[in-house]
Amino acid sequence: MVLSLALLLPTLARAAQRFPQTTLDPQSDYAGLIQRLLVDLVFWVVLILVVVEGVLIVTVLRFRARPGAPQPKAVHGNTALEIAWTIAPALILAAIAVPTVSTIFRTQSPAPAGALAVRVVAHQWWWEFRYPRLGVVTANELHVPVGRPVELTLESADVIHSFWVPAIGGKRDVVPAHLNRLWFTPRTTGTFPGQCAEMCGISHANMRMTLVVEPPTDFEHWVTLQRSPPAEPAADSAAVRGREMFENVGCAACHTVRGVSAGVLGPDLTHLASRSSIAGAVYPNTPEMLGKWIEDPPARKPGTQMPKLGLQPGQITDLVAYLRSLR
């Protein structure tokens, strides 16, 4: 029975693949260590449950009161028993504490040399990712190569948030005026969703992100693209009119498009069109959704600092054409 319960865990994990934010399907060494600990502890906990409940059931059946049976012998003050049931739980607690503490030390140790450094800045309500050694700045979509350790330095621009991509491991709080760290080595390629896990205001639930783990060559390709200057829109196109609008209606005050504007309140848009989502990974990055978003941001995401600019449909079309040109 214990064995079948222990065997159930991997089965649950497989079933959980249909649920992208499951914690039972580890995709990094860090998440793997946590999973190992969970599986081991569940095994021992189930074993204890079965033994204790088994003894209880046998006792109830075998020693239940029968007519004419003598009074049972009192065990009060039995030194051997007292010592036994004091030491046994202490041993059990030690057996839980040793692997737990050792896992904490392993996952909290300094990142290996050569880890990919990423500065994560949490904002109400989006994620900024800066790669200081690569000169890349992006938002809501964290790209990392498979197999290489990644060290995240977590900081907040405003309130307390929590960085959480379940596939790569546990949550880590992102606290203002304090640096937290988290490192992991992704072991499978894929796209894994994550989100803020600390109540941080009205759009806390709209503070999501995507982790993209890719082969090293794809990652290098992505870095090259992100470092390149933004695409130059064709002369006389809607995108050119859109760029003028971008500079004049207020977008430029909050957003950076390298070489065009230098706002820092909102996400860097230099390569917006290369990202799969917008608005804190809440909406897909399609022309239609981009238009709806620009038309009335607070209606799409409560509390967002991005204001409704009251643009005409034609102006929105031009702006979307420009933003879509930022590949």
- Contacts with ligand CUA by CB under 6 A lie at 122, 125, 161, 196, 198-200, 204, 207
Minimum distance, C-beta of residue 264 to ligand CUA, in the bound complex (Å): 18
Is the separation of the CB atoms in 226 and 302 below 8 Å?
A: no
Pairing of strands 208-214, 141-145: parallel
Structure tokens at 49: 């449950």
Identify which of residues 134 and 175 has a Cβ nearer to ligand CUA in the complex. Answer: 175
C-beta of 95 vs 199, nearer to ligand CUA: 199
* Phi/psi at 31 (5° precision): -65, -35
Closest by alpha carbon to 145, among 197, 188, 193?
188
293: its two tokens: 């978003």
Closest CA to 123 of 292, 281, 248, 294: 281
Closest distance between ligand CUA and the C-beta of residue 320, in Å?
A: 27
Start-to-end CA span in the chain (Å): 56
Nearer to ligand CUA, 161 or 271 (CB): 161
Shortest distance in whole angstroms from residue 192 CB to ligand CUA: 18
Q: Is 78 exposed, middle or buried (0-12, 13-18, 19+ CB in 10 A)?
A: exposed
The smaller minimum CB distance to ligand CUA, of residues 201 and 250, is found at 201
For the bound state, the minimum distance from the C-beta of residue 189 to ligand CUA, rounded and expressed in Å, comes to: 27
Beta strands 141-145 and 136-139, pairing class: unpaired
Q: Residue 141 or residue 318: which is nearer to ligand CUA going by CB?
A: 141
Minimum Å gap between C-beta 247 and ligand CUA is 30
